[in-house]
Amino acid sequence: MSHLFFHYPATLYDINKKRKPLLMTDLTKGFTIAKIVKDLVAVYYDYNVDDGDRPDTIAEQYYGDSTLDWVILITNGIIDPQWDWPMNYNVFRKYIVAKYGSVSNAYDETHHYEQIIQKHKVNPDKTVVPEKTYEIDLTTYNTLSSLDKKLITAYDYEEKVNEEKRRIKILDEQFLPSIIEQTEGIFG
């Protein structure tokens, strides 16, 4: 379980406007912490989230303290760990079925079209030049040769979005005291 909201203050809010306020977590403080982390001149390490990784397990691995999972989350601008964290294979498949009815439906549904501007290649010096594309409409798509275009299915799109979430940053451990001190100052 994430400790992201552990230090957040509570506030009374009448969500139903019936003069019966509920005690709720004041999420507006989170934007202050995220700004501090973003503005911090710090060292970050690239990390690729594998299936089974969770913010608390990564915090334990890097900081020796699973309760610092909130540092992993705010460092990466993750507000909702359920939807902003990458899904594992089984959860992803269930998500696809829930959204599209079946995996085959997701493969059959066109999400969008792309024009290939630059093809993926490896130069003689071993540098990799990634493919570059941009989204186009169906009319433009139909005018291009098959080598210069690609159809992106709903499944391909959803998979790309999920895979992009796997690339996160880990804040160098030496900056933890500063983040913790500033956080306590906000919520003190």
Q: What is the pLDDT of residues 155-185, one digit of tens each?
A: 999 999 999 999 999 998 988 888 887 777 6
Greatest mean pLDDT among 18-22, 121-125, 135-139: 135-139
Q: Is the pLDDT at 1 greater than 50, yes or no?
A: no
- Residues facing residue 122 across a β-bridge: 128
CB 157, CB 111: distance < 8 Å: yes
pLDDT tens for 34-64 read 566 666 656 888 999 999 999 999 999 999 9
Q: Which of 45, 43, 37, 66 is nearest to 54 (CA)?
A: 66
| Tokens standing for residue 188 | 């003190």
Residues 75-94, mean pLDDT to the nearest whole number: 91
99 to each of 33, 92, 102, 105, 162, how far by Cα in Å? 33, 10, 8, 10, 14
What value does the mean pLDDT of the chain take? 85
The one-letter amino acid at 9: P
Please give the model's pTM, rounded to 2 decimal places: 0.72
